[in-house]
């Protein structure tokens, strides 16, 4: 079985490449942006023709939530149009598509965790592009899995953990919003879920939610990250101050509650959600090598 991973240089792509090579017998073709630009229709077609994969795992995406408000067309090209191209090729070659969406498809007005069938009202361009990608996959009549995940982090690429570490290193004190509730999720946890889906449930289709636990907010998450730093590191005691979303004024609005109800995937796989706090061990290594 051949499995293609797109965006293989990113957080999830890196984690998946590692997990799947270890835990499946499949041939893993991990393609980073230089190997395959998913917006290049011809290149995507050639790639399918060459490998005729059983699975394509699309982790390539335009994830800059605020910049997407300005570079709207580009965001749609990467997050939607390219997904449509790949879905059409999947139909041609009977390839199953594994794709990732986001908690930002929801508006955050619900008081309890979001279930898969809850109505989507994305607040941002990014959220809209990801919702559009879900719809185009479903419409194409192919085998698919869409995992909606939240607040992804790992020791590579761009993410909140690395941003907080860089800011702590640079600034006298930092401010972080405390009025957006959600669940950080390690790329490693998501790649374990995908591995189980491929190995144990090859015929299952549909949308699933997955996040790690516990529920937190960005301010408390930042404090947890700081607490993982060695005590002798001078930035382990720098001040982190809570602020409100209205004070921060980001270009893209974000949901106040984006906690995902993960019962459906837990039941299918017979797993518990991982604890993201146990996945932060890399911070001490990362802080040393972070470029400012």
Ligand X SMILES: NC(=O)c1ccc[n+]([C@@H]2O[C@H](COP(=O)([O-])OP(=O)(O)OC[C@H]3O[C@@H](n4cnc5c(N)ncnc54)[C@H](OP(=O)(O)O)[C@@H]3O)[C@@H](O)[C@H]2O)c1
**Residue positions annotated with a catalytic role:** 126
Under a CB-based contact definition with an 8 Å cutoff, are residues 267 and 209 in contact?
no
Per CB under 6 A, residues contacting ligand X are: 6-7, 9-13, 33, 36-39, 59-63, 78, 100, 102, 130, 149-152, 157-159
| Residues near 210 by beta carbon (within 8 Å), at least 6 away in sequence | 147, 148, 149, 185, 189, 190, 193, 260, 262, 265, 273
Nearer to ligand X, 17 or 130 (CB): 130
Helix (H) or strand (E) run with residue 99 in it: strand 96-102
Q: How far is 55 from 273, CA to CA, in rounded Å?
A: 25
Under a CB-based contact definition with an 8 Å cutoff, are residues 104 and 123 in contact?
yes
Q: What are φ and ψ of residue 138, in 5° steps? A: -65, -40
Q: How far is 261 from 265, CA to CA, in rounded Å?
A: 9
E strand spans, 9-109: 27-31, 55-58, 96-102
Residue 8 β-bridge partners: none
| Residues near 208 by beta carbon (within 8 Å), at least 6 away in sequence | 116, 145, 146, 147, 148, 262, 264, 265, 268
Residue 145 Cβ vs ligand X, minimum distance, rounded to whole Å: 13
Would you call 125 helix, strand, or coil by DSSP? Answer: helix
3-state helix, strand, coil in the chain (%, to 5): 45, 20, 35
CA dihedral 96, 100, 103, 104 (to 10 degrees): -110
User: 24, 66, 70, 29: which is closest to 46 by C-alpha?
Assistant: 29
């Amino acid at each position: 079985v051949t499995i293609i991973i797109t965006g293989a240089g990113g957080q999830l792509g890196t984690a998946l490449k590692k997990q799947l090579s270890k835990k499946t017998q499949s041939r893993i073709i991990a393609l980073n942006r230089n190997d395959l630009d998913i917006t290049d229709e011809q290149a995507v077609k050639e790639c399918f023709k060459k490998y005729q994969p059983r699975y394509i795992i699309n982790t390539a995406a335009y994830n800059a939530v605020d910049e997407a408000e300005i570079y709207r067309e580009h965001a749609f090209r990467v997050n939607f149009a390219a997904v449509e191209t790949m879905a059409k090729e999947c139909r041609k070659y009977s390839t199953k598509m594994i794709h990732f969406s986001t908690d930002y498809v929801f508006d955050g007005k619900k008081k309890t965790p979001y279930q898969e069938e809850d109505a989507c009202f994305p607040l941002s361009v990014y959220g809209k592009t990801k919702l559009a990608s879900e719809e185009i996959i479903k419409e194409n009549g192919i085998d698919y899995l869409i995992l909606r995940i939240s607040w992804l982090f790992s020791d590579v690429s761009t993410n909140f953990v690395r941003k907080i570490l860089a800011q702590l290193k640079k600034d006298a004190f930092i401010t972080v919003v405390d009025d957006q509730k959600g669940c950080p999720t390690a790329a490693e946890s998501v790649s374990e879920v995908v591995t189980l889906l491929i190995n144990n449930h090859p015929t299952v289709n549909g949308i699933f939610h997955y996040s790690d636990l516990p529920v937190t907010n960005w301010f408390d998450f930042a404090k947890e990250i700081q607490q993982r730093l060695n005590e002798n590191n001078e930035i382990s005691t720098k001040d982190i101050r809570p602020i409100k979303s209205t004070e921060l004024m980001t270009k893209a609005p974000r949901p106040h509650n984006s906690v995902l109800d993960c019962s459906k995937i837990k039941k299918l796989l017979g797993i518990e959600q991982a604890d993201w706090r146990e996945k932060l061990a890399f911070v001490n290594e990362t802080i040393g090598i972070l470029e400012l």
